[in-house]
Amino acid sequence: MLFNSLDFAVFLPIVFILYWFIANKSLKLQNLLLVVASYVFYGWWDYRFLTLILFSSLVDYTIGLKLKEDNKHSIRKTLLWISIIVNLGFLGFFKYYNFFVDNFVQAFSFFGTKVQPNTLNIILPVGISFYTFQTLSYTIDVYKRRLEPTSDIVSFLAFVSFFPQLVAGPIERATHLLPQFYNKRVFYYSKAVDGCRQILWGLFKKIVIADGCAEYANLIFNNSSEYSGSTLFVGALFFTFQIYGDFSGYSDIAIGTARLFGFNLKQNFAFPYFSRDIAEFWRRWHISLSTWFRDYLYIPVGGSRGSIWLKIRNIFLIFIVSGFWHGANWTFIFWGFLNAIYFLPLLITNRNRNNLDVIAQNKLLPNLREMFGVFFTFMITVLAWVFFRAETMSHAFNFLDEVFSKTLFSLPTIRPTNIILAIVFFFTIEWLGKGKKYAIEKLLLKQSVFYRWGFYMFLLALIFVFSNQSQQEFIYFQF
């Protein structure tokens, strides 16, 4: 069930009414309703996926209770490894089985040996990469005694399957989200309105910006051999805007929807394209995943401690694993490797935490140094996104080879005015709201109702116009 679909437009009000007007007398009944609603939401794609998420949830729920009962270190460690192997085993099988088989066959073919592969027609369960990491955070934190394990199975099932953020995040920690299922939720009109405002902005990002850009990004990338360097560069720009609008738009809708039910999810994007260096970019892009890898992989293997060579090793490890998490393709692995290369100069010179504040805070415009930093960071990010979007490594290198040819200085053959104007409007609003949790959080709140609702109606009109042109699935559903 897509956030930008008619199905969800019917589903959400029904669940909202049942939650606040029928089940509001009992916390357990509200949680049970959320479990049922979440399983309906998830099973809408394929009911067979439900057995996988239910099994994963029951395994980690049981292991959590066993970790509480036993204080023997060896047994606790064994239980943790069972959780890790089960969860990553499912993820590895469904997401990476054919990748490893195909590369195994190619490796043997290189040495002149033919191997008959046994590849499977495996359907990738939607959101498996997200809920796997979410439930793993529970068992790891219980093992490290950061969190008391729950005996409330309904709350735990609701935590793992919570439908607003189930299939594409944010990846919530058990320490943050699970306790919210224990406490009685009270409906606050102001929070509900704020949630609706964030949903509106997320839909604008997805339908107007992401889907609008996707039409031309797909056209250019799928027929890249037919276009000049300048047109290919435009295609790379369109994909850069598409993936941001798509993924951050999903996060905004998820966070806003959760707020309608009295839950607070963590911010997942903090205006990353206004970053002054690549380290700041990764503190602002897909925050829930970046911090997950930081806390559960980067720090345990040493983090920024030790010699410079260990620091470099750890940086490459976290970025390459992050790339592989995104998909079973060498393009994603190289994308991660390239970002590690970008990060390296900042690490070596100890400048990776220079830009912790908001750019041009309390100012309308940045200074020249900040402008150059934003431009440079944005351009190398565009370059990296080419590998993320390309079908193969050769496709990416051929694409870039033409971009850096003399045809880069020709006039692009594809330059849709409506999308360009929408992007300019979008980033103007983003810039004005860059210090907030989302761009329009406080926009026009001090103005009259006429101006405020006029702006909302304008966004709705754009959403309506663009929704009639094309509808795309969210990019991160494939991860």
Whether the CB-CB separation of 213 and 198 falls below 8 Å is answered with no
- Residue of 73, 176, 286, 326 with catalytic role: 326
Please check whether residue 219 is in contact with residue 414, taking contact to mean a CB–CB distance below 8 angstroms: yes
What own/partner pairs with CB < 8 Å and gap ≥ 24 does 396-403 have? 396/331, 396/334, 398/224, 398/225, 399/221, 399/224, 399/232, 399/236, 402/224, 402/227, 402/228, 402/229, 402/232, 403/229, 403/232, 403/233, 403/236
Residue with tokens 């009944």: 29
Burial (CB < 10 A; 0-12, 13-18, 19+), residue 2, is middle
Q: Are 101 and 60 in contact (CB under 8 A)?
A: no
Residue in 80, 223, 186 with CA at minimum distance from that of residue 138:
80
Which one, of 242, 232, 256, 184, lies nearest residue 12 by Cα?
256
Q: How far apart are CA 375 and CA 365, in angstroms?
A: 14
Tokens 């009295």 locate to 262
CB 17 within 8 A of CB 37: no
| Residues whose CB is less than 8 angstroms from the CB of residue 179 and which lie 6 or more positions away in sequence, other chains included | none
Please, which contacts does 345-354 make with residues 24 or more away whose CB atoms are closer than 8 Å?
346/277, 346/278, 346/279, 347/304, 347/311, 347/312, 347/315, 348/308, 348/312, 351/277, 351/279, 352/277, 352/279, 353/279, 354/276, 354/277, 354/279
DSSP tag of 360: T
Cα 164 to Cα 11: distance, rounded to the nearest angstrom: 12
- 326 a catalytic residue: yes
In angstroms, the CA 452 to CA 457 distance is: 9
Which positions are annotated as active-site residues? 326
